[in-house]
Amino acid sequence: MKELCLVLFIGIMIGVGIYSKTRVKSTNDFFLGGRNMGGWVSAFAYGTSYFSAVIFIGYAGAQGWQFGVPITWIGIGNAIFGCWLAWKVLAKRTREMTHKLDAKTMPEFFEKRYQSKNMKLVAALIMFIFLVPYTASVYKGLGYILQSSFNISFNVAIFFMALLTAVYLILGGYVATAINDLIQGIIMIVGCILMVFYVVNHPNVGGLSMGFQTLHELDPALTSPFSDGNKFLPLLGLILMTSFGVWGLPQMIHKYYAIKDEAAIKKGTIISTIFALIIGGSAYFTGSLGRLFFLEETTDAAGILQKVAVMPGATIAAPNAGTSDMIIPLMLESALPAALMGIIIVLILSASMSTLASLVLVSSSTISIDFIKGFVAPKISDKATMRTMRIFCVLFVGLSYIMAIFQSSTIVNLMSLSWGVISGMFLGPYVFGLYWKKTTKVGAWVGFIAGGLTVVVGTVFANMGLLPIGVTAPVIASLAMLVSCIAVPVASLLSSQMSEAHIIEVFGEEKAVN
């Protein structure tokens, strides 16, 4: 049954890619779907790009083990701040300004908003380099679930999914990803609801009441409404990074570029929020119950029998020293019937393939449009640009595959590095550039540098053991975003303002004089 679900999933993806190829006539079609995407398609494209194997495998498993039930706040924060507020604040203004400036990518937006070709070049290179770890983290998550479910090699699983990503994306570009996102989103909603039902009612959990009681006996903090002590700051960092990080991620902002009109934005805001609440809430809540599937009996120093949760690959002597990325795959393999496991595998594949498509599409486009057409060969034809994008799609997938195979870091750390650098650098210049006419080129550059340096310095200090307890990679990433948002207005007020003519061009005459 699992095999049949996988084959059907692959067939649908490739079929949509072949169908979409007939609708892709230009670079604008390949990258933005002709800027004509409706509310449902855009909302599902946003949501399925948001939640991938990184969330289901890496975050829900590892962080659910560490924090317990309080980890569910991440899913709630993602829905409120990462979807509803993000769409309210960014969608309409992004669509209007990128149309006005004729900007197809985030680096192109930075160039035209701040009159700086160098800023476009730097942004393009940062995106291409630091989206690779994020893509690698998604591939690692897929590798673990396929290894656990089908007993195939981790390396073979990743190679297979990388090849599938390249094929269907090369065929149909954003049109293919958007159509697949709608199909995949529906699968994800149904799969998540069934997943929670079966996990909660599994004998290891015994229903909500019994499950919470067992968790409480293991550690009362696992069932408290909020984490406290040394766990509060790491949890807050996770909530902030995964909720506000999407405000500065090019693959998420890209969805606002392509949406059709204001009516579609209003619809997309509601749909994406509900989608995130269901998917994020289900994933993290399921992860919070992970310990209940790995209990072993031991005796303490007084000879009293007790239960200990032992992470996969660990021992009673060191129960938390195992492989956290295998918690969810093994847990679901134990909890779900074979037929449903097939659906859940497709669910995780759906979420991951959508995220991968968005990452690869944005990364390849920024090199093709912003670097090659913008610097190396300005007169390159539209047809040649689209061909170049397809080539870089393959290259980006290849680099991500190599990193997933050879990089030993956990999924959480790989994602934190990617989100920390990109959102840390882009968030301040992007948001202030949309709304505040006094934002200057100097202010944007300072935001870039300050956010990036925060991640670099924080990561170095963390590796040297010089940071306080609780300052984790997500905390450093969240701090970088905050630093960027403080640096941009401060530096802008201390630097020369941009010309009135340029401000009128960007905002329109009425906004320019306010």
Would strands 305-309 and 295-299 be described as parallel, antiparallel, or unpaired?
Answer: antiparallel
- Four-residue CA torsion sign, 205, 209, 215, 218: negative
Contact 385, 120 (CB under 8 A): no
Torsion of CA 201, 184, 63, 285, to 10 degrees: -30
Give every residue of the chain whose pLDDT is below 70, as ranges: 1, 17, 19-36, 53, 168-178, 180, 301, 350-351, 353-354, 407-411, 509-514
d(CA 433, CA 96): 13
At 306, is the secondary structure helix, strand, or coil?
strand
Asked if the 2-407 domain carries CATH number 3.40.50.720, the reply is no
Distances (CA, A) of 461 to 80, 425, 465, 466, 471: 32, 19, 6, 5, 10
Determine the pLDDT at residue 489: 97
Residue closest to 416 by CA, chosen among 233, 245, 162: 245
Contact 70, 233 (CB under 8 A): no
Contact 171, 20 (CB under 8 A): yes
d(CA 23, CA 27): 11
**Encoded tokens for 134:** 């994020």
Backbone φ and ψ for 37, nearest 5 degrees, come out as -90, 135
At 317, is the secondary structure helix, strand, or coil?
coil
d(CA 110, CA 441): 9
Contact 135, 402 (CB under 8 A): no
- Residue 182 one-letter amino acid: L
d(CA 440, CA 436): 9
- The CA-CA-CA angle for residues 17, 18, 21, to 5°, reads 85
* Beta bridge pairs of residue 307: 297
Q: Token match 């949509």: residue? A: 16
CA-based diameter of the chain, in Å?
Answer: 80
Q: The pTM is what?
A: 0.86
Determine the pLDDT at residue 422: 94
Determine the pLDDT at residue 219: 92
Determine the pLDDT at residue 30: 57
d(CA 180, CA 190): 16
At 37, is the secondary structure helix, strand, or coil?
strand
d(CA 307, CA 217): 9
d(CA 293, CA 309): 8
Cα Rg of the chain, angstroms = 23
Distance of CA 334 to the CA centre of its chain: 27
**Encoded tokens for 180:** 């697949």
- The CA-CA-CA angle for residues 243, 245, 251, to 5°, reads 110
Q: How buried is 319 (Cβ within 10 angstroms: 0-12 exposed, 13-18 middle, 19+ buried)?
A: middle
**Encoded tokens for 385:** 């640009």
* Domain ranges (residues) in the chain: 2-407
Secondary structure string (H, E, C) spanning 260-286: CCHHHHHHHHHHHHHHHHHHHHHHHHH
Determine the pLDDT at residue 334: 87
Determine the pLDDT at residue 513: 41
Residue closest to 340 by CA, chosen among 192, 200, 185: 192
Contact 239, 77 (CB under 8 A): yes
- Residue 310 one-letter amino acid: V
Task: Tell me 497's DSSP state.
Answer: P
d(CA 273, CA 217): 35
